[in-house]
Amino acid sequence: MVSAGLLDATVQGLITGAVIAGGALGLSLIYDIAEVPNFAHGDMITIGAYLALVFNNPGEIPFLPDFGSAPFALAAVIGVVLAGVLGAVYELAIFRKFREKDADLITMVIVSLGLALVLRNAVLFLVGSKNIQYQTPRVITTNFDFLVTGGGLTVITTQRQAGELVTTGAWGYPWWLIVAGILAAVAVGYAVFALYRQEEDFTTVYLIPPKILGAAGSIATVLLLGVFARLGPQGTDYILGTQIGLNVKHITILAVVIAAMFVLNVILKTTKLGRAMRATADNMDLAEVRGVDADRVQLVVWVVAAMLAALAGILTGWFATNLTPNMGFALLLPIFAAVILGGISSPYGAVAGAMIIGLSMDVGVYLIPGSSTYRVAIAFVILIGVLLVKPEGIWGDV
């Protein structure tokens, strides 16, 4: 039995980062293309979470009859779609009007603040301020004990079943396999990178940047080897030992956010609409001259961003196991930090920024004892530090 350590904090940080990334994707889209630092995004996250709740657990909402509960995944999909509709409504009713008046950045900030006030209080008005939970199947956390022994690495998995800690598996990797695995991962990663990279000129647009694809290849190799090349345990007299707690929830959240990032990236880079969006981000007037329907682009941007916000809200509500009217606003600061850190113009940047923020929050809390209430503060110290050195953000200005 070993205790959780830095590795566990890192994994937790990645999950936190994924939740933040869900919000950061949408916010960076609006920030970049619609040029609105949208303070209502946090409250849109709340709205999304509650929209899914309407279908998943209607009994908790005072004015609704208890018409039965939809499965969580279905409710999530309906919630995301409805949030997209709401996004279209406020783009058409509010932001388009202000864009037609050529409102400046500050006016847009204040307008989004007003919208944030309306959205948050709409939730308070309709649902009240009590904590509510989704109805989801119970998730069992598996603890992975990693033991570094003389013979290699031993992994023991345990689960808590009916109050008892049950060992569900034990396997290991001898040293030669670990070394071979690392070499294989490096080789695969580099091979993917080298094969995929093209002769670059200024028209080259990678769907996935070669470096990211290479890194993904390496990680995939390690994971595949880890799953399929399981040998017998290498002893339990460990030199170093650490524990990671993982469950389906964590994996799902990571997978959903990475999928959302990928889909958004595909839309932006391969479709005609995506090209129009990127052109609008670069220069709206020039894009319009070239026949881009800017209004349509903006509508799509707001709808997609609202859907991403709702997705982030549903994941947050599921991850944190309860929903409060303030949940979105509390996430807004780390999300802004992630977006600015990542440079506002790319989905990868937003996710990378979010991962840095998430990791620094959880690892920071682990490394500095007694700092658990300073999670958001840690994120901000990182952001301020970066802004002091590079006021345009890590990946440069828009």
Q: Which residues bind other proteins (CB under 8 A)?
A: 37, 94, 97-98, 101, 103, 105-107, 109-111, 113-118, 120-122, 124-125, 128-129, 333, 336-337, 340, 373-374, 376-377, 380-381, 383-384, 387-388, 391
Residue number with CB closer to other proteins (22 or 37): 37
Residue closer to other proteins by CB (options 37, 217) is 37
Q: Which is nearer to other proteins, 126 or 216 (CB)?
A: 126
Nearer to other proteins, 302 or 380 (CB): 380
Q: Report the nearest approach of other proteins to the CB of residue 366 (Å).
A: 17
Quick one: angle between helices 210-228 and 175-196, nearest 10?
150
Task: Please compute, for residue 109, the number of CA atoms within 13 A of its CA located in the half-sphere on the CB side.
Answer: 4
Residue closer to other proteins (CB basis): 28 or 242: 28
**Least gap, CB of 125 to other proteins (angstroms):** 4
Tokens of 233: 């345990």
- Closest distance of CB 305 from other proteins, Å: 17
- Please name the amino acid found at residue 11: V
Q: How, if at all, do strands 142-149 and 152-161 pair?
A: antiparallel
Instruction: Provide the minimum distance between the beta carbon of 98 and other proteins in the complex, in angstroms, as a whole number.
Output: 7
Q: Quick one: 173 or 380, whose CB is closer to other proteins?
A: 380
Long-range contacts of 256-263 (CB under 8 A, 24+ apart): 256/22, 256/311, 256/315, 257/18, 257/19, 257/21, 257/22, 257/25, 257/315, 257/351, 258/18, 258/351, 260/22, 260/25, 260/308, 260/311, 261/21, 261/25, 261/347, 261/348, 261/350, 261/351
In which region does residue 216 sit, left (phi positive, over 0), alpha (psi from -120 to 50) or beta (all else)?
Answer: alpha
Q: Would you say 114 or 150 has its CB closer to other proteins?
A: 114
Q: How far is the CB of 217 from other proteins (least distance, A)?
A: 36
Which is nearer to other proteins, 41 or 250 (by Cβ)?
Answer: 41
CB of 380 to other proteins, least distance (A): 4
Q: How many CA atoms lie within 13 A of 221 on its CB side?
A: 21
Nearer to other proteins, 109 or 266 (CB): 109
Locate 340 and state its tokens. Answer: 């600015």
